[in-house]
A and B are shown apart, each in its own frame.
Chain A
């Protein structure tokens, strides 16, 4: 249904509405039933000073005179309008669907447009946005009919769009650009001089051939005193030699240096190959050589060069040794006898020459050879000069660039290069297809223009495309350019709008990304509810001193500069548009449309526990740096739903990224676990200076590090209460902590908790693993999913120093968590040293950022003196290193038979298989980890080289020459020594300046393992029976333990055992006949990563039964 003009006008600013009126006028004059985009274009072009005309003038192809091209444009618009069916005249022909759609599109794009963002805030009372003329035109240009019309006149609508977006005086390049020829005028292309914007001088050069570098070089060698006989080496060497021979023959003046001008070149290649290859007589060759000798004696010019050709003839497999040595000895004596005789030849590869050299070790002196590397030949240059006939290919840059599918689906895999974000990509694809369609329509239009109405033509191109292939081919190149232009345009737009192409979610920042806003959104709400009903949390809310709350609220406006968009659909939505007030599609979420703050409302906080799951499931995540949103897929939401049931206090849940999960689970689990504690925890937030509340809050996060937590709390609270510490004359507000020892997860979690407690937002945590470069991550590590391994990809393109500085600049309060401080590189060391000394962190350009309210937490796994403490203990079954290697595989249950004596230990019928293939895994792995400090497995190659290095320390590899080996080891050793020495000294000094050094205890995996095994055994016996054995693969055990370590809630893994594992046992019992001889095995499916995670714990939600 067409839209009445008055309604369409409402959506437009006055200026744009005037343009629409003009378009309506055009439609009326032509008695058309509807006002379409074409009418609008016609109207917009009517005025000589219009924006569109101006943009066209700038985007114009330089190949044609402006007058001509505008005339062409007017013509093609006119023709297109003529094709529209006319009807009875209407006073106001209504706005066509396509034009209305364009208006809607421009509304949307205007919202997305960051420049207009503030504008909306000012008049956001208006329920919708009035489209400005610029955006109106831009989206009209998207219309395929319009771009076709422009295309016919030699314009590319994408160029025009770019011209409209860009201010007039910003030439993209210093160089004139060539453009595709207008299709409308395509027969003029060849005669157009302007097309050859830059000439390629080399075409002339290589054509005449006198600039041949190789020949010049050969000539240079010939003039040398020693080593005057060139042996050309390289794939193209024989070409080069032939080329040189040609030049000499034709007596080109400047190829040969003046001294040897007039050189006589004689080729004996044929004779040699005949003699050696076919066993010709010695006499014949001898004669030839003798002749040469005579010639040399009698020759009056500078001399004679003997070209013996390709060296392969002498060393080839079919060349008998004696024949070759005959030739060589003859040539040698000839050379000795005649000083004015040169020898030259070529060798395709160095290897051939080496072979030759082994046969005739003294040949280099005997022949006085000079090896001349030849890397290119003239003949191939000429080949390159010929114009390619492949210009018409439909696929631009095929092969060199990734294939078009790569371009269009950049998110196929995370490894692929990402060009566009989802949204832009989609649009780009649409436009490309539109253009392709449009492209083929042009030819059709030309052909049928008289007979068919144009809308019919539009509908048909696909069917006629094949028949029209020839024509299409002609247009192919232009289309290519168009397609490319579109892709480029969207790339530009994507870059501008979304700052950067978004990263796949797996490489988001390692920081748990809960926006600060939700905390604020939460706290006032919380207060509200607790004052209303007498929930168990009331006692706690008494702790909330009004002043603090006020304070909080005071803070919040200044803090919440990050708009928090609310989304719950599983599509990427540009967040500006969300904020503009478009209501999210979610049923539950209501957006409080304040221009820059849209908190997540938590309406059902006081609802009965069992009702929570159905409502208030909001998925919120922001990506600060990128500004693009990803919402969860339904699967995850479901999972969280489930969880919500369980946790009973589901005030907030849902997310895309796993880390967010962690936080939400964490929050709710706390409340769920200990209802009485929930508010004191909140109270902890209120008064972070209080040692006790800090300690309690931290202890609730990490239960197993009592002493460390005690020390941390003490330090932080004493620092905060202003035990005046000074940087020179300034009061020091920054806190420096160092976490030493094992327990990576505990350290990280404490840092995160500190951020949350001290700065009331887990967003205030920036974590950087300084050791990441020393080893890349294992694929599919369980820790990846928890973002506990920061993989360093977010640092791409910048140094760590600048990354940290950037983060510090963004927020006034931050916990900076630096893992593996002992691996800090020189720049980071310098910056950190200065920061701890002066309270200002310098970036790599020397700009300083105050770190006054920051907390710096650095970690190191081992420290001198502490090492004994860690490794001196009796060997453990599950070491932290082993757990850190855990992968997130799917699990499956296999049924086997008991073979031989199965030992039953400690009354359980569950046993864990020993680790495969290693008798003493700990010693090697420990060494590795202490040496490199890396948690993840080494990169394949790195590891290989390292292992080789290490191995050579202990034994000699007999396959390697000894000297080389030792040299290698020595240099490697001294390198690492000097490196580590200087950085150790730095570390010591640096750590001495810390406010506190806290040593962590190792996490007792063995105890957890014992407990879990007992639990599993209990379940197993209950379901399957006590006479059947269960064998758990050690990899699985490692995975379970890692999950237990990572899970924030104490009993998460127990729950998993009870629900997931037990269910699988039950299934197994039902499906198989299990006898006493049966052996139930729980093994990992290596290579198959977990599809669906169980709620609250990173273990599979389902176990495959096989």
Chain B
């Protein structure tokens, strides 16, 4: 099971360091998103890279629509990978959906994680009476319809918005990986994501977390970062990046790398 999983999810282990670092990409990207961050950590960490099962680089046949109905299945994948690699302690950097996956994984196996770094994380995207997640349910439905109607157009609209249109190279990169995903999987996973609500379980996290939030993120309002800080159960810090965009590792790797380093050294 282990090996096929490692193969299926394109697990790569690189770097020369002692400590283990997991870099988990977010929705719409694959492990190549970490390309620009990677060089900074290669000398110091043994880095585990993998693709989420929904990523375009993974054979879409592996995506079981019956299994991946909640994030827990993604968490299973992550934990299985770590087990298969014999990792017993690691730091975890997760972006967007992977941040959520990391949170859940650390609840299930707190001893496995020394530190969680959550980039662009949100426990809940939909607004609630006293919670501002950034989206109204109606809006989400519209997005889904748009996605269903014309994936191409949706990608072209979504990518620059998400990344920040002033970084064409990063937009291209994100569009590419977003396009690589099969549209039905994209839609299914985004439904799963928007359907998830981690707010109730944040307190179960005991691992120290570092929440990295960009100044302007179309998907995650700044208040969410503070919500996370206040509700996550461990010792938490918030790092604000003074850039735009939901994908700082694509659009501002220079800015993110030192922050990550600092976060991981603590």
Contact = CB atoms under 8 A, between A and B. Distances in A.
Q: What band does the interface of chain A fall in when counting residues whose beta carbon is under 8 Å from B?
A: 35 or more
B204 A371 contact: yes
A856 to B, nearest CB: 20
Interface of B: 36, 39-40, 43, 65-67, 69-73, 100, 104, 107-108, 124, 135-136, 138-146, 148-154, 156-158, 160-161, 164-170, 179-180, 182-184, 187-188, 191-192, 194-204, 216, 218, 233, 235, 237-240, 242-244, 250-255, 257-258, 262, 265-266
A503 B166 contact: yes
Nearest to A214: B70
A920 interface: no
Given A351-B203, A419-B160, 13 more contacts: A173-B179, A179-B150, A198-B184, A202-B69, A233-B201, A350-B233, A374-B200, A374-B201, A387-B145, A388-B144, A399-B139, A402-B218, A797-B252
Interface string A928-959: 00000000000111100100000000000000
A180 B72 CA distance: 36
Contact of A384 (B100, B195, B216): B195
A333 interface: no
A354 B257 contact: no
Interface string A363-407: 000000001011111101100100110110100111111100000
Contacts of A844: 39
Nearest to B140: A400
Interface of A: 172-175, 177-180, 198-202, 205-206, 211-214, 217, 233-237, 347-351, 353-354, 371, 373-378, 380-381, 384, 387-388, 390-391, 393, 396-402, 410, 415, 417-419, 477, 480-481, 484-485, 487-488, 491-492, 495, 499-501, 503, 507, 773-774, 776, 792-793, 795-800, 825-827, 844, 939-942, 945, 964, 968, 971-972, 975, 978-979
Contacts of B135: 399-400
Contacts of B70: 213-214, 375-376
A825 B262 CA distance: 13
Nearest to B250: A797
B251 A972 contact: no
A217 B247 CA distance: 32
A211 B201 CA distance: 23
Nearest to B138: A390
Given A376-B192, A376-B196, A397-B143, A796 B149 contact: no
Given A388-B141, A390-B145, A177 B184 contact: no
22 contacts: A177-B150, A178-B151, A211-B66, A213-B70, A217-B72, A233-B200, A350-B202, A375-B70, A375-B196, A375-B198, A384-B191, A391-B149, A396-B146, A399-B142, A417-B161, A419-B160, A488-B153, A500-B168, A798-B253, A844-B39, A942-B240, A971-B265
A177 to B, nearest CB: 5
Contacts of B161: 401-402, 417
A942 B71 CA distance: 32
B200 A348 contact: yes
A825 B240 contact: no
A971 B114 CA distance: 14
A351 B243 CA distance: 34
Give the interface centre of B201, B218, B262 by most chain A CB atoms within 10 Å: B201
Given A199-B184, A391-B145, A793-B166, A799 B195 contact: no
Nearest to A775: B242
Nearest to A481: B150
| Most chain B C-beta atoms within 10 Å of own C-beta, residue among A236, A237, A418, A796 | A796
A477 B148 CA distance: 12
B39 A213 contact: no
A1060 to B, nearest CB: 34
A401 B201 contact: no
A1085 B191 CA distance: 50
B16 to A, nearest CB: 13
B69 A488 contact: no
B155 to A, nearest CB: 8
Nearest to A500: B168
A827 B167 contact: no
B145 A388 contact: yes
A401 B143 CA distance: 9
B167 A380 contact: no
A246 B254 CA distance: 52
Contacts of A773: 254-255, 258
Contact of A800 (B216, B235, B243, B254): B254
A373 B187 contact: no
Contacts of B148: 178
B195 A381 contact: yes
B165 A419 contact: yes
Contact of A202 (B65, B72, B168, B218): B65
A853 B150 CA distance: 52
A481 B170 CA distance: 25
Nearest to A385: B191
A800 B146 CA distance: 38
